[in-house]
């Protein structure tokens, strides 16, 4: 009896998942609004709409993007400086090595 119930439940879930049809999503990048239309094989249509960001939400999003951009720029500058410093140290060490060899010879 348990096995029959489990098989029936599995069949129902797989049928329900199979009944899901095409999904179309339209997004307005300016406001962030999103509308999703889902057409199922059995003829039903599900429409889901989400409004865009509020003014405060948009400001928070813009701040996040600005911080991300500034962090990336700062990281690039630090990396460039570290590479230049490393190159200078390497060059200086090579010069010291050359002088030391001259003195020993």
For the full predicted model, state whether its pTM sits above 0.75.
no
In the prediction, which pLDDT does 43 show?
83
Q: Do residue 40 and residue 63 come from a single domain?
A: no
Residue after which a domain boundary falls, among 33, 52, 71: 52
Q: Do residue 104 and residue 76 come from a single domain?
A: yes
Q: Do residue 48 and residue 61 come from a single domain?
A: no
**Structural domain contains residue 104:** yes
Number of domains forming the structure of the chain: 2
Q: Indicate the DSSP class of residue 27.
A: E
> pLDDT for 47-96, tens place per residue?
888 887 778 888 898 999 999 999 999 999 999 999 999 999 998 888 88
For 82, the domain range is: 54-105
Q: Report angle CA 56, 57, 61 to the nearest 5 degrees.
A: 120
**Structural domain contains residue 92:** yes
In the prediction, which pLDDT does 20 show?
55
Q: Give the model's confidence band at 45: pLDDT under 50 very low, under 70 low, under 90 confident, else very high.
A: confident
For residue 53, how far is the Cα from the chain centroid? 19
């Amino acid at each position: 009896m348990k096995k029959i119930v489990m098989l029936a439940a599995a069949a129902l879930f797989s049928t329900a998942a199979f009944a899901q049809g095409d999904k179309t999503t339209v997004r307005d990048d300016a406001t962030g609004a999103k509308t999703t239309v889902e057409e199922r094989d059995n003829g039903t249509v599900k429409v889901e709409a989400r409004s865009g960001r509020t003014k405060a939400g948009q400001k928070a999003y813009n701040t996040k993007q600005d911080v991300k951009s500034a962090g990336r720029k700062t990281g690039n500058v630090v990396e460039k400086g570290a590479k230049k410093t490393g190159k200078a140290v390497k060059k200086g060490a090579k010069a010291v090595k050359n002088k030391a060899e001259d003195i020993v010879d």
